[in-house]
Homo-oligomer: A and B are copies of this chain.
Amino acid sequence: MEYKKIDEADIDFLRNVCGEDQVVLRDNILDDFCHDEMPGQFSAPDVMVYVQDVSAVSLILKYANQKKIAVTPRGQGTGLVGGAIPLFGGILLNLSKMNRILELDENNFTLTVEPGVLIMDIYEYVEARGLYYPPNPGEKSASIGGNVSTNAGGMSAVKYGVTRDYVRGLEVVTAEGEILSLGGKIAKNSSGYSLVQLITGSEGTLAVVTKIILRLIPKPKFLQSLLIPFDNLPAAIKTVPEIFKSKIIPRSIEFMTQDMLSSSEQYLGRRFPDHSGNAYLLLAFDGNSLPEIEKESDQIAELCILHGAKDAFLIDTNERNDAVWKPRSSYLEIIKASTSEIDECDVVVPIDRVAEFVEFAQNLEKECGLRIRSMGHAGDGNLHIYALRDKLDQKLWKEKIDHLFDRLYSHASEIGGKVSGEHGIGSAKLPYQYQIEGKAVMQMMYRIKQAFDPNEILNPGKVVQYN
């Protein structure tokens, strides 16, 4: 795919639309805007423009579509698959200044926001009003536009689902500059194809999201956690299907290992409250009835002990809660700090295949000659398998990573898994996406891409491959 290079006339056009100070030329663009949180990929745009309203987005896309200029939308750049990297140069459409909370509608349980609002600001805003936005991705400084674009998941998916379950309406701009208003504040909708659902998770390749209507729920009144030590990781994870068989759905079921907790103690400078296990399940329960939550967590504690847990600790103070959840939520930083470079596989498998898959991944350490660390959402089957580069040279590292990923995704495919549970495909996972989904499915995805973006100007090189 060939794109037009940015010239003086294009710069003039952008300055006219957005104002001179909102247009940043190549030489002044910080490296920060040339990558995301995935290491190893770097590509600079020819120009970055801060857009501040939908009409600017529309004018720019109409122009770029006519001239065939690549346009890459960007929020906070916290992605992990290169989704916001301008692989073909062109315009980096920076949406971070479209960050207003537009309307809280308490009658309809909706919050209308611009895409640049950070999800931590959404939590704070709605929880102060007794409301709750359930999706709970690890990276709280991500923008909601990015969360919608990757259909971000997080630690509450077991009970509450993922971002797409909370998107009621979108305003988007197509590659041709058309402004579409999709869905709305309505709780049900069977009015034609769900473009809202199609665009959610499309990683900025179909349209640019300029407004989002989120569904909220009442904030659960009570929350408590359980920390459960086991002798080893397989024993911990194998308990999860037993938990589900008891017909109780906790808000979160995460797993952690002792070596991860040791790294965390070093990194955070803070002692973890228990050292009796080599592996842990960490569960959260929430609801409006404290006795009911207590009953559920007692029942699960007993069940875990019956299945080999060494103990079960109720975590019911804020301080202890912080002490057990902080290592989990800081794990990505902790791992990054422990090596020269990492790469990650965000695979998702059926819940009852998690134990097997983690063991499979761990066994690849030897075969691949790589340090491998796993963590993840035991309760929803979404695993994060990290490879650590340590002292490997770039060439060897790449070879080993390719081999590792090939093995991981092939196995995931065999057991009904998919490439990404929550991070998306971007450019980094594209070959594996083709491998797992197969030609016919990807051909259909590509046709959808063409339907939305005939000139393929929107976030090129991501999600689908160009013919």
Contact = CB atoms under 8 A, between A and B. Distances in A.
A188 B421 contact: yes
A448 B193 contact: yes
Q: By CB atoms of chain B within 10 A, which of A200, A244, A444 has the most?
A: A444
A6 interface: no
Interface string A168-189: 0000001000111111111111
B178 A440 contact: yes
Nearest to A425: B192
A152 to B, nearest CB: 8
A90 interface: no
A447 interface: yes
A88 to B, nearest CB: 20
A107 interface: yes
B352 A418 contact: no
Interface in A394-442: 416-425, 433, 436-437, 440-442
A201 B189 CA distance: 9
Contacts of A418: 183-184, 186, 189, 191
A201 B206 contact: no
Contacts of A183: 418
A317 interface: no
A382 B187 contact: yes
Contacts of A339: none
B193 A381 contact: no
A102 to B, nearest CB: 14
A35 to B, nearest CB: 20
Given A190-B420, A194-B200, 5 more contacts: A107-B350, A187-B380, A190-B346, A192-B464, A193-B206
16 contacts: A107-B241, A152-B190, A178-B440, A181-B441, A185-B350, A189-B418, A190-B421, A191-B419, A191-B436, A192-B201, A192-B433, A193-B445, A195-B444, A218-B247, A450-B451, A451-B451
Interface of A: 105-109, 130-131, 150-153, 157-158, 161-162, 164-165, 174, 178-195, 197-198, 200-202, 206, 217-219, 241, 244-245, 247-249, 287-289, 291-292, 295-296, 346, 348-352, 377, 380-382, 416-425, 433, 436-437, 440-442, 444-445, 447-452, 463-464
